[in-house]
Structure formats: structure tokens, C-alpha cells
Structure 1
């Protein structure tokens, strides 16, 4: 999970503008809530008979059962903030990064715990207005932001778990497109706020990156010519473009798979530097 509790700097770009979270990806608030449950169910279904003590290659500090505790605690933390209608995010309540003590747990123990947490979170989100100013982050309404963030958190960590267990991974292209959009509108600006010295090297005249899904309507241009990244939809010539199936684009931007195997046009090093800087 992005360590957003350590952020410094100003508000997330577009604060107070509802289209910031709805305009790209096009999944509704209701779909985000439903997918928190759906993605958790898919995760739980992959655990039957598995050894949850194996290490997770993409999260090497954790075993699978620790990864699952991370996901479940993230759900419960968000649930608590929404139900209590906290005015702002309270990072001190999160237990999602302190999971190293968990060991020897089974799917029979963790599966129901994960499902219960996901269902409770979805219920809490559905009981409030999407744009209610509770659990806000970067000036954005918490219900809308966290419904999407927790859905995508579950998607990516589902991949982490099934990859560690050798189980096939499938993802609805519409969910994948929403995930790519969220990465550009959430992880990307936060990287610039968290790592200004590192990301400053990405900024300059003509610095643009085009993400192009070949199997779904998802094309995004990342404009790095100003002090903070700007993102727009559409097909444009850019300094570097990467093309591939939308699910593979998700795994690439989250650094779960290498760029190799996708089509890259232009400055390959620019793309590598961007992905290295925007990391979870």
C-alpha cells in the first residue's frame, strides 16, 4: 500500500473537483463498492489448500498470510474512518503496515476474516454520500477516494498473492482501465509530493508519456512539462509511448512486471525513470 501517511506538501491536484476521480476510468462509485467485495472474494477463492507461509516475490518482506492481513487491515481502517465520519484521514489508526508478527495462519482462518472486512467496508461506503467530506485526503471527499483506492488496493494485492501461489490471474478490462487511471491520478501526483528531489528530474520541456491499451478504450497522456504532472485522455504523440493489453499496463505501472514484452516507442529510459519514481 502506498505509504501516504508520510506525505508532505500541498493537496492532491484537482482537490474539490469531483471529475478528478470520476472522469477517467469511468467506473461508478457503486461499482467501486461492489468490486471491493468481488475482488476480495476472488482473492479468497485462490487460497484453498495453499501454503500461506510462502514469501511474496513482489512484496518480499511479507509472506502470503502477512499480505492478506495487510489487505484486511486496510479495509477495516477505512471502514472505521467512514463509519465514524472522521473529518480527515487518521493514519495512526492503520494497522495495515504492521503485519510481520502474523505467521502460521490458514485459509480457513483468513478467508472469512477477509470477506467480513470487505463486506463491512462496502456497507459503510454505501451508507454515506460519495462526496461527503469525511476521511478526506488531499482535499478530496473520502468516500469517493477510498472506495476506488481500496478496490484497486485489493486488485493489486490479489495479483501479488496469486502470483506467489502460482494461481492464474484474470481481471475485468474495465476494472483494469480504472486502475490505470487511478494510478495516474493518485500514485503519480503523490510521488511528486513525496519525492520532490527524485521526481524533479522527470520534469522538462517535451516530457510526455502515452499509455495506450490495445484491447480496451484506455489512452492516457501524462504531461510532465510543469512542476506537477497533468493527465488527459486521448491519443497524442509523446516522448515515449507504451502499448499493450490493459491488464498488462496495470501490472507494468505498478511494477509487477517488466516493460519488456510491451511495445515501447521513443525514450525508453524516460519511461523506466518514471516507473521507478512512482512506486508503491
Structure 2
């Protein structure tokens, strides 16, 4: 996806998030245990401010969040932070340098993509928390979100911060997973200290196959499905293998 497309998606999902959250700031967010909608709103605002500083200062702030942000009213913080983020994006080119936690990509473009994906997931959280219908997710954004989750979060996380995954992967017998959706597929190999992702389903049988429409697969992998509603995602494989993948996803995104 082009950066301009990510920015369009960011704008649309922020507008939906901003429309939903005032409905019930005290409501619990089921996909973020322990959070209310107010907590979620404040979190998104803090994230936007953090990434704005990462671009402005060339490195992510070490101490975060500042104490003064704790007293900010959630909606005011969200609005101010989003305006600052968009101003920072407008003042820079996607290829300009920026401090990021993802070593292979130290550019503004990384944060454009990341904030688009961050926002679509958290607007789903807001919808689930306020009891609103979950708005559609464009196929291209959902496919990119699956790709980012598998490669940028999990594969890079295992390679860079392997200790966090030791309890999950050290006892792995070595498994293969295929994640498949409309127009895209990924093949994952796991083992002790290993989470490798390749594009395409490959020809060999997999221990686990996850398949469904793009938005449904994205929500399943991010654990953002609606409780009580039938899933559009099909998961085939042994429960212990499915659990290994799910634990890797949860650990990488905490």
C-alpha cells in the first residue's frame, strides 16, 4: 500500500473512533481487559503523541508517558494528539528518517503504516466497548495488517527479543502454519527460537491452516472478534499447535 492510502485509512478510522468513543467512556472494553473506553481513548492519544515525538526528535522517547498527560481529559488529549500527528506527517516525506523500534525501517513511512494499523484495531476496540457495529475494514488494509502482524510484530519480535518467547517456543516440535485470505497467503515456521514468515502458502501440508476473508482473519489474529457472533474464519489443526501460534501473537502485541 502507498503511504497516501494509509493516510486515507487513518483519517477514516480516526473519524469512526472519534464518533464512537463519546457514546460511553465508562464502558469496559472486552478486547482490552481492565480498560474502559476512556482508558482506550487516552491510550490512543498518548500513542499519537509518542510517535509525533519519535519523528520530531529522531528517536522514541525513553520515559513515557509524561506525568502531566495523566490529568488530560481523554477526548481533548485524543483530538490534540491526532492533530499534531497529522501535522507531523504533512511536514515530512515518507522516506524521511524517524526513530522506530523496528530496525529494518527507520522512516516516517513506518509510522504512517503503523498508525493506520494501530487506529483500525483500536476503533474496533471502541466499537466493541460501546456496543456499536464494527464498521467494515477495507481488504487492502486488512491484508497489510495481517502481513505487518506476522512479520513486523512476531517474526521481528522473536528474532530481536527472543527471551519473551522462550516459554512458548523452546518446547515446540517445529510446526508450520498457513494463513490464507483473499489474494494473499503466508507460511509460518516455528521452533525453538524461530518464527519465520514467507509469502505464499507453499506446497507442503501445514500443521495449522487459518483462512477466511481479510477483515475476519485480521480480527481473529488480533483477538478482536465479537463475542457471541459466528466467526467467518476457519482454523484447522491440533489445539496445541493453534495455541502456540496464538500465544506468539499475544506476546508480540502486548
TM-score normalized by the length of structure 1: 0.75
SS in 1 for 2:186: strand
Measured on the aligned residues, the alpha-carbon RMSD in Å equals 2.8
The CA deviation at 1:117 is 2.6
SS in 1 for 2:194: coil
Residue number in structure 1 paired with 2:116:
151
Distance 1:129 1:150 in 2: 15
Residue number in structure 1 paired with 2:217:
249
Structure 1 residues 47, 136: CA separation in 2 closer, same or farther (over 3 Å shift)? Answer: closer
Q: Given that residues 203 and 227 in structure 1 are in contact (C-alpha distance below 8 angstroms), is that contact kept between their aligned partners in structure 2?
A: no
The CA deviation at 1:150 is 1.5
The CA deviation at 1:219 is 1.2
Alignment of 1:71-86 (within 5 A): 71-84=44-57, 86=58
Alignment deviations for residues 179-200 of structure 1 (CA, whole Å, 9 cap, x no partner): 1111011221354225131232
The CA deviation at 1:248 is 1.4
Relative CO higher for 1 or 2, CA cutoff 8 Å, sep ≥ 6? 1
Structure 1 residues 243, 202: CA separation in 2 closer, same or farther (over 3 Å shift)? Answer: farther
Residue number in structure 2 paired with 1:22:
none
Give yes or no for the alignment of 1:268 onto 2:247: no
The CA deviation at 1:173 is 1.6
Q: How many residues were matched structurally?
A: 240
- Alignment counterpart, residue 132 of structure 1, candidates 79, 84, 96: 96
Residue number in structure 2 paired with 1:41:
15
The CA deviation at 1:252 is 1.2
The CA deviation at 1:144 is 2.2
Unmatched tracts of structure 2, length 5 or more: none
Distance 1:233 1:97 in 2: 43
Structure 1 residues 185, 245: CA separation in 2 closer, same or farther (over 3 Å shift)? Answer: same
- Alignment counterpart, residue 277 of structure 1, candidates 238, 242, 248: 248
Structure 1 residues 152, 98: CA separation in 2 closer, same or farther (over 3 Å shift)? Answer: farther
Distance 1:221 1:63 in 2: 36
Give yes or no for the alignment of 1:165 onto 2:135: no
Give yes or no for the alignment of 1:199 onto 2:164: no
TM-score normalized by the length of structure 2: 0.82
Residue number in structure 2 paired with 1:220:
186
SS in 1 for 2:209: strand
Structure 1 residues 151, 181: CA separation in 2 closer, same or farther (over 3 Å shift)? Answer: same
Distance 2:166 2:133 in 1: 39
